[in-house]
Amino acid sequence: MWPMRRECVGACLVHDEKFFCSEYERSKAMADKIAMRAAAEGVPIVVVYPGVIYGPGKVTAGNAIARMMVERFNGRLPGYIGNGDDRFSFCCVDDVVEGHIAAMHKGRVGERYLLTGENASFKHVFDVAAILTGTSRPWFHIPLWVLEAYGWISLFFARITGKLPLISPPAVKVLRHQWAYSCEKAKVELGYSPRSLKDGMSEVLPWLKSLGLIKY
């Protein structure tokens, strides 16, 4: 996913390359330019952009929701992240896989498709988790400046222990931007049909519980 600083091209969006939250984001923008240049030269390329991917699988840094739920239900993340005015586009991993397959068969060469999903805040994610598990919702918000300070501390210890931090300063930069997008083009042209966040979380939470990573 990329920040809100984008320019509209047709029915999709292109990074304006004026600001990057991380080197990862910069690499994605570079890859996009290379892919589109190749498509213009006749290479059969269809470009897809997933949103914030979540779902059963490995609990890695890329599976942000799963990791946050582990921290949330183990008491290490007791409050909401930020003020709750953030917007991210959450998409279940199974839907993204189906979207990739559909892009291979139905996508137009040289076109871009957003394989995003429900636009919501992380506050909404935590509220949905509370409703599905019958547990209490957080009662306070953790300011982003506190998370950023924690990120720097976590980064320091990560360099000593070799373990990835739950959150890093670049990740907090991402949280300061809006990442809500429409996948209408993919729905119309690819038949893309992302599930709701509630339906996706209904799979993630029992999966984490079955692994013994959370209790409720």
| pTM for the structure as a whole | 0.81
Give Cα 200 distance to the centre of its chain.
Answer: 13
pLDDT at residue 44 in the model = 94
Three-state DSSP state, 214: coil
- The per-residue pLDDT string of the chain (216 residues; one tens digit each, 9 = 90 and over) reads 443 344 343 345 566 666 666 777 788 888 888 998 999 999 999 999 999 999 998 888 788 899 999 999 999 899 999 888 889 999 999 999 999 999 999 999 999 999 999 999 999 999 999 999 999 999 999 998 998 898 888 888 888 888 877 777 777 777 877 788 999 999 999 999 999 999 999 999 999 999 999 999
Distance (Å, whole) CA 119 – CA 127: 14
Determine phi and psi for 175, rounding to 5 degrees: -65, -20
β-pairing, 118-120 vs 52-54, is: unpaired
Domain 6-210 is of which CATH architecture?
3-Layer(aba) Sandwich (3.40)
Which residues of the chain form beta strands (DSSP E)? 6-9, 12-15, 47-50, 52-54, 80-81, 88-92, 112-115, 118-120, 141-142
- Where do the domains of the chain lie? 6-210
